[in-house]
Structure 1
């Protein structure tokens, strides 16, 4: 899944939803006040997929209630979605929905979901967005570990092959990012966890190891190490 933990407050739930759509590559705003037919209304999350053919606009209402959401909320939100002219609306509830909600949402453009259900629906787009975000960093590293060996140090000398393999192992989560990440099976690459990587210092010596257990940890690792990986390859190649 996209998130490793559950939000603990309403604001966290709202921010998780906003973060997910932002990482999908959608144009997203959190807590946006919009003009409707009957006046102003604050929308928890408003997002638009500008990369798709029809550029759908989606409104999301977040409910961090102890009790289940009632059908009055569904009727009210359906009016907001229609007045705004959105293509789709989600109500994300921490503790589910009363039975009448599903009848109220039937044959409408309103979807009733938990956060995990929303994550599952947008997981593929999220993965695509994350891969596209970090692909340029993987491309920068490619010449340094490419097996064809076309990359040479500036001074014309040799490099330590064992050090090269150590750096590659340490930053393989970045090096491995590629188009196959967003393809469907059987062509697509399915990441298996845990992924164990060595931790190295600026002397290019291993000082420990790290276990990556989830997709969120994977891309957090990439974010935290994208510049450090290039730095260490440049040290090896004496650049």
Structure 2
């Protein structure tokens, strides 16, 4: 799924949801105060899918409660979503919903979910957007590791084994491609993935393991610039 960890309190839950939508490419604000018919209301997570044709607005209520959510809470949130004119509303609950709650939102634009269910709903969108976000870094690296790509500016040779080592060390960045954004499957990787760790002398000093998609994209974020720097060292640029 999108997150490897579980939220430990209400603020964590709110921030997890906000981070998820932000990484999906939505314009997102946590704890946003909005104007309603009867005054102002603070929304846990306000988000808008600006990449889609209709740019739907989504309001999210996060409930880190020890007990299931009551129908009264659901009816209150339905009013907020309707007054604001949002296209969709989610109530994200840690401990489910009381009996009759799902009947209360039948034929409405309110969805009752756990965090994991919300992650599952947006999982493909999340992977697709992060791939798109990091593709420019992969494109920068391609001429360095491609067989018929870049040559050193000084006309000399490069150490082919070091080139292979750098490619292996930054495979998560290098392997991103247009196919990772294409339906129906898009981004898919097999884990565990063992990656060599190298220093600025382009020597292997250890290994690290990637076990999940979250760890994969975190690795790309942390190493996208380091990868280019190490290729530049190899090519004496």
What TM-score, normalized to structure 1? Answer: 0.97
1:184 shift after superposition = 2.7
1:10 shift after superposition = 0.2
Q: Name the SS of the counterpart of 2:100 in structure 1.
A: helix
Instruction: Tell me which residue corresponds to 1:179.
Output: 178
Q: Larger deviation: 114-123 or 126-135?
A: 126-135
**Structure 2 Cα separation of the partners of residues 140 and 102 of structure 1:** 49
Instruction: Tell me which residue corresponds to 1:80.
Output: 80
8 Å Cα contact 1:71-1:98 kept in structure 2: yes
Match of 1:225 among 211, 215, 223: 223
8 Å Cα contact 1:69-1:96 kept in structure 2: yes
Q: How does 1:11-160 map to 2 (within 5 A)?
A: 11-148=11-148, 150-160=149-159
List per-residue Cα deviations over 1:72-109 (Å, max 9, x = no partner).
Answer: 01100000000000000000000000112111111100
Large movers: runs of 4+ above 6 Å: none
Q: Name the SS of the counterpart of 1:99 in structure 2.
A: coil
**Structure 2 Cα separation of the partners of residues 179 and 121 of structure 1:** 22
Alignment length (residue pairs): 237
1:178 shift after superposition = 1.4
Q: Name the SS of the counterpart of 1:198 in structure 2.
A: strand
Match of 1:198 among 196, 199, 206: 196
- The unaligned stretches of length 5 or more in structure 1 are none
Q: Name the SS of the counterpart of 1:132 in structure 2.
A: helix
What TM-score, normalized to structure 2? Answer: 0.98
8 Å Cα contact 2:128-2:187 kept in structure 1: no
1:185 shift after superposition = 4.4
- The unaligned stretches of length 5 or more in structure 2 are none
Q: Larger deviation: 174-183 or 16-25?
A: 174-183
8 Å Cα contact 1:70-1:100 kept in structure 2: no
